Structure 1
Amino acid sequence: MFRSTVLALALAAAASPALAQPLSPYASAGEQQAAMSDGRVTSEQIVRAYLERIERIDRAGPKLNSVLALNPQAMADARRLDAERKAGRVRGPLHGVPVLIKDNIEMAGSLPTTAGSLALSANVTGRDAPLVKRLTDAGAIILGKTNLSEWANFRSTRSISGWSAVGGLVRNPYSLDRTACGSSSGSGAAIAAALSAVAIGTETDGSVTCPAAMNGIVGLKPTVGLVSRTHVVPISAEQDTAGPMTRTVADAAALLAAIAGSDPADPATKEADAKKADYLKALDRNALKGARIGVWHGFRGRSVHTDAVFDQALKVLEAQGAILVPLTGPDDATLGKIGELEGDTLRTEFKADLNTYLATTPAAVKSRTLADLIAFNAAEPRETPLFGQEIFEAAQAKPPITDPAYVEKRATARRMAREALDNMLVKNNLVAVVAPSNGPPSIVDPVNGSRFFGSPSSLPAVSGYPHLTVPAGYATGLPIGISFIGVAWSEPKLLAAGYAYEQASKARREPEFLPDLGARPEIARAYDPR
């Protein structure tokens, strides 16, 4: 019943009787923009309908727990932007379009930025992160803030992706017993379930691309430095970035165009203004024709379902004229060494960057350092009913970022990751490397943990290169994505390739909100054939 949805009903009631089709809640931002331009619907009607849908699906109904808080100014913002449109001013493709942002990103107003932690429940800073200011300047409406893996999944080695003490567990709308991945789990689940037009997530390693792939949507981790990180709760200034999470590649392009750009407060973005592009204009249905695409089978054999979906995706690429180039990627020893160095350096960076961030929070936030947070968690049972804070404790023991051993490890990790990707991308003159983004989402298991089938996210994360995931297919109804990885600043080519694949494959399907896979008819019959 949720697939027929509230938004279509609400908009049908508000629309003129002469209009034939109500606007689907799964309509893209581009389709919503066209409907507003044609006068078929207003931004106010879209926002109201999404707020009703969040109430019915996220807070009742299947109870996805994907939206932590709603912006009390959203309706007023929608009316203001409708008035601008009526007066002849349209700011661009996001004018009047609702967007959800992950709750480690600050926005001015009354909502705290918690990173999912009770320790930051009073973190009302009154500041807009520059990426939020860019969104609102582009005419987007901040609908609310999404749940996430607490502290962006950087508190415990035994964490449950998608769980936070503030918001509970985010559920995957394809099957509610399955992981929504993390850390941008709320953004992924909310967009899959059509609780907003588009969303913003953040990634240090896999935190945009994993929840995007496992919730059957598009996710882009941009080149580090293309999008400002100012006023975003950090893990690492070396790897953090925000990125779009959407139902279509075109919407990801529009969203990236809005948030990309230089920020004087974030030195990593000094080249962003010169490197950013018109990403929507770059989209081309024929972008794969003659394009050299490298095929990395680095995780083949771990999931027969993933292998089958990926093989079909390769056929689509080839049918669109892509020249597929088999690759010999880095071996397991190299990947393992990069992962070891990454884990070690991230802990050092987390301590330094989080302490710097906490020092800027309001006086009402009593935890001013990582050491304070460790003490807070130890004294607050609501923080540790499922797992502990081993990463926090390991990070607290790390030396400062001026430590020569740390500096050498970070340089080595980056060099190894870039060499691994450049050996594939540059030496073979490739537009992109493709690989499966993920295996099928596993069951959420608080006792034994979740099974993980591998991901290509670490190489682009450590190198700072861009990584796009696009829906590729399904394993017994569970989403699997295909990753497109390119060199730094290659977002126009990556998005164009992903768009051409998306338009040819038409792989994405709406979620069914099943309680578990046993509710699928073919499985139910097999479970009980009598």
Structure 2
Amino acid sequence: MIFSASFGPAVLALQALLGVNAAPTDAAHQARAATHKCKISINEIPDLIDITIDHITTYLYDGCFTSVQLTKAYIARINEVNSTLHAVLELNPDALDIAASLDAERAKGKIRGPLHGVPILIKDNIATDDKMNNTAGSYALLGAKVPRDSTMAAKLRAAGAIILGKVGLSQWANYRSSNGSSGWSSRHGQITNAYYPNLDPSGSSSGSGVGASIGLSLAALGSETSGSIVSPSQRNNLVGIKPTVGLTSRYLVIPISEHQDTVGPMARTVKDAAYILTAIAGKDPYDNYTSEIPFEIPDYWRNLKRSSFQGAKIGIPRIAITSSSTNAPVLAAFNNAVEVIKKLGATVYDNANFPAYDEYRRSGNSSIVLGLDFKTNVKQYFDQLTYNPNNLHSLKDLIDFTMADPREDYPDRNVNTWISANNQPCEDNSCAYAWNAYQADVYLGGIGGILGALESAGGEGGLDALIMPTDFAAGIAAIAGYPIVTVPMGFYPETTRPSAPNSRGLISNAPNQPFGLAFLGRRFDEQKLINFAFAFEQKTDVRKEGPDPYIVPSAQIKDFL
């Protein structure tokens, strides 16, 4: 598999521990086995492509396996497929030690919560203060050090999750080139989708999508500025939660835009995504946007109901759903999904449209906001580093490094997006030009967009949520920081003719390619959207009913018992 060369010995040390005949000699396993009896046979343990947090917590409690054994199985799965898919950039060299310490806690009766001892992968823009790198896929930050864990990493650790490693991404979260490709970075090469050879994985959370889709970990964290959680989630047959901007902290997450960036879970089930969101959401003194959270964070997973659509009012902004030569299967599946939602008890309002949609389509304000935010926020990130190996202190420094370092594949992959951002007529995002552009976005995404559509029908209180094929959902929610939950909706037929590869060798449409249904709502309305997604998931079970990926690891927990 492909890892950073600087961590070769650590990776080899982990691999050396993966002998399939290794005896379960860890003290935690022995202690648990003495007090709990596994209620299933080894062969009844679910495949790691299907296993859930509820499964894992039950089997860990019953002593069916340990977190060490589970972690070994995930590492083995990564090693099986990573040379083909390039999803995982670095393994955590301390992962097995962390798993052992969590097993020891469990043996003593301390269980931190549902994520205790569960391995999760995180995107390589979410900083960890450990032996792993935090690079956004770029050599510019290889070896850089942060003062502490990002809040996202710290919250995962506090919840008992094992940060298994860093997954790849579209370099700089897809904010560098005008001629790049989803899932490519200079450090790991091109990530591809597991549902068809050389299929575009979508981005920028490409590794998160691919890794979670085929069980390289229980789930993954991704980040979104515009589409980077929901798009790779839907194209990899996953549930993705793009939280309201400010529900999850961005502290020490390599930024694009303080006004649009958000971090969220990508998982195979709604409940697993809700478990993870519960662990990572909340106020953070290092990110003042989180001070707007108007409530104590609920257990998003606790009250999920199959009956969530009973009495609900759901709108469809048809104005933003367009047909093309390739998306007929998506639109057919969407119309079927509408009928399912009606039968589940919802009243559906067609043409609940975005009031200012034409103005939104003409607007260039988002480019202004992203450019000036990146110019400002990337400098702020550089200034927080405790070790800055390439002495980067500005966007101009980053441009110069990338153009000069041959490993960065310049000029084949240009830096035009950065040049445009650096040439904005302000030095930072505090100027009136930036503020006016952001205020225009807040209107176009809010009263002129999602909020206006939600209030356009349904009588008092308006609509509860909007639904769209996920392909169309991201942009208008992004500019005003509104939440989206995407859930699997269907697959392209096996008879679909694969599209011709693009200049980077990626196929944009293929047989068995997954796609999703998006639920959009008001700011901080995640609970309602998660409940709707759960009800739809439980009724349709699209993920399990659909085709299998073309490449699936064979390693299982039973190989390490």
Q: Distance in 2 between matches of 1:322 and 1:83?
A: 48
1:491 equivalent in alignment to 2:491:
no
Deviation per CA, 1:216-237: give whole Å up to 9, x if none: 1010110111111100001111
Inter-partner Cα distance in structure 2 for 1:431 and 1:33: 33
Q: CA 1:511 to 1:132, structure 2 compared with 1: closer, same or farther past 3 Å?
A: farther
- Residue number among 397, 420, 426 corresponding to 2:455 in the alignment: 426
Change (3 A) 1:135 1:293: same
The answer for the alignment partner of 2:262 in structure 1 is 241
* Alignment pair present for 1:329 and 2:353: yes
Is 1:395 the equivalent of 2:418?
no
Paired letter, 1:30 = D
Indicate conservation of the 8 Å contact 2:357/2:444, yes or no. Answer: no
Contact 2:315 2:352 in 1 (8 A): no
Distance in 2 separating the partners of 1:360 and 1:164: 23
Deviation per residue, 1:152-177 (Å, 9 max, x gap): 00111222011000111111000122
Shift of 1:342: 0.5
Say which SS state the counterpart of residue 274 (structure 1) adopts. Answer: coil
* Secondary structure of 2:71's aligned partner: helix
Pick one of 281, 284, 300 that aligns with 2:322.
300
CA deviation after TM superposition for structure 1 residue 423, in Å: 1.6
Give how far 1:149 is off. Answer: 0.3
Task: Tell me, yes or no, if the aligned pair for 2:352 and 2:454 is still in contact at 8 Å.
Answer: no
Whether contact under 8 Å (1:44, 1:78) holds in the other structure is yes
Flag the 1:434–1:216 CA change in 2: closer, same or farther, 3 A: same
Structure 1 equivalent of residue 44 of structure 2: 21
Structure 1 residue 265: Cα displacement: 1.3
Shift of 1:328: 4.0
- Contact kept in structure 2, 1:260 and 1:272, CA below 8 Å: no
Residue 380 (1) aligns with residue 405 (2): yes
Counterpart-to-counterpart distance in 2, 1:42 and 1:31 = 13
1:406-445 matched pairs, under 5 angstroms: 406-419=434-447, 420-428=449-457, 429-438=462-471
Give the SS at the match of 1:201.
strand
Match of 2:7 in 1: none
**Match of 1:41?**
65
Change in Cα spacing, 1:288 to 1:54, as seen in structure 2 (3 Å) is same
* 1:11–1:23 Cα contact (<8 Å) kept: no
1:224 counterpart letter in structure 2: V
Cα separation, 2, equivalents of 1:256 and 1:403: 34
CA distance in 2, matches of 1:68, 1:189: 12
Match of 2:111, SS state, is coil
Instruction: Give me the whole-angstrom Cα distance separating, in 1, the residues matched to 2:420 and 2:398.
Output: 13
Query: After the TM superposition, which residues 21-100 of structure 1 pair with which residues of structure 2 at under 5 Å, given as runs?
Result: 21-26=44-49, 27-59=51-83, 63-100=84-121
Query: How far apart in 1 are the matches of 2:174 and 2:42?
Result: 46
Once the two structures are TM-superposed, the CA of residue 271 in structure 1 deviates from its matched residue by: 3.1
Corresponding position: 1:196 with 2:217: yes
- Are 1:363 and 2:363 matched, yes or no? no
Instruction: Summarize the Cα distance change of 1:104–1:257 in structure 2 as closer, same or farther, 3 Å threshold.
Output: same
Correspondence for 1:214: 235
Q: CA deviation at 1:458?
A: 1.2
**1:413 and 1:462 in contact (8 A); partners too:** yes
Residue 503 of structure 2 corresponds to which residue in structure 1? none
Correspondence for 1:121: 142
1:203, 1:275 → 2: CA distance?
23
C-alpha distance 11-498 of structure 1, shift in aligned 2 (>3 A): farther
CA-CA distance at 1:35 after TM superposition? 1.5
Query: Alignment length, in residue pairs?
Result: 487
Structure 1: unaligned runs, 5 residues or longer = 1-8, 439-454, 516-530
In structure 1, which of residues 252, 268, 271 is the aligned counterpart of residue 292 of structure 2? 271
What residue number does 1:471 align with?
488
Structure 1 residues 83 and 240, CA, compared in 2 at 3 Å: closer, same or farther? Answer: same
Q: What SS does the aligned partner of 2:253 have?
A: coil
The CA deviation at 1:335 is 2.8
Judged with a 3 Å threshold, the aligned counterparts in structure 2 of structure 1 residues 20 and 176 are, in CA distance, closer, same or farther, namely closer
Percentage of identical aligned residues: 36
**What CA deviation, in whole Å up to 9, does each residue of 1:331-366 have, x standing for no partner?**
65223134x211121101110111111122213233
Which residue of 536, 546, 549 maps to 1:501? 536
TM-score under structure 1 normalisation?
0.88
Unaligned 5+ segments in structure 2 are 1-18, 25-32, 494-511, 552-561
Aligned amino acid, residue 154 of structure 1 = Y
CA RMSD, Structure 1 to Structure 2 (Å): 2.0
Contact 2:382/2:388, CA 8 A, preserved across alignment: no
Could you say what secondary structure the match of 2:335 adopts?
Answer: helix
Q: 1:274 offset after TM fit, Å?
A: 2.5
CA distance in 1, matches of 2:547, 2:122: 21
SS state at 2:442 partner: helix
Note the C-alpha offset of 1:511: 6.5
Deviations along 1:53-85, whole A, 9 cap, x unmatched? 0001123xxx11111000011111111111111
CA gap 1:207/1:18 in 2 versus in 1, 3 angstroms: closer
Is 1:175 aligned to 2:211, yes or no?
no
Structure 2 Cα separation of the partners of residues 365 and 197 of structure 1 = 35
Q: Which residue of 1 aligns with 2:272?
A: 251
Deviations 1:179-205 (A, max 9, x none): 110000000010011100011000111
Q: CA deviation at 1:301?
A: 1.3
Structure 2 letter corresponding to 1:468:
V
Q: 1:64 to 1:460 in 2, by over 3 A?
A: same
C-alpha contact (below 8 Å) 2:140/2:401 kept by paired residues: yes
- Note closer, same or farther for the CA distance 1:32–1:11 as it changes in structure 2 (3 Å cut): farther
Cα offset, 1:18, TM superposition = 4.6
Partner of 1:343: 367
Q: Which residue of 1 aligns with 2:3?
A: none
Partner of 1:180, secondary structure, is coil
- The answer to whether the 8 A contact 1:182-1:207 is kept is yes
Of 316-325 and 377-386, more deviation after overlay is shown by 377-386
Residue 391 of structure 1: how far off its partner (Å):
0.7
Deviations for 1:459-510, whole angstroms, at most 9, x for unmatched residues?
Answer: 1111111101000010121101000001011111110000000000100147
Aligned letter for 1:461?
A
User: Aligned partners of 1:306, 1:10: CA distance in 2, in Å?
Assistant: 43
Q: CA deviation at 1:13?
A: 9.3
Aligned to 2:504: none
Q: Deviations over 1:374-399 (max 9, x none)?
A: 11111123323542011110111121
Q: Aligned partners of 1:45 and 1:222: how far apart in 2?
A: 32
Q: TM-score, length-normalised on structure 2?
A: 0.83
CA distance in 1, matches of 2:175, 2:43: 49
- What's the offset of the Cα at 1:327? 2.2
User: Is residue 225–residue 261 contact of structure 2 (8 Å, CA) maintained in 1?
Assistant: yes
* Cα distance between partner residues in 2 of 1:136 and 1:37: 19
Mean CA deviation greater in 84-93 or 360-369: 360-369
Question: Structure 1 residues 12, 32: closer, same or farther in 2, change over 3 A?
Answer: farther
Q: Name the CA shift for 1:18/1:412 in 2 (closer, same or farther; >3 Å).
A: closer
Q: Which amino acid aligns with 2:289?
A: A
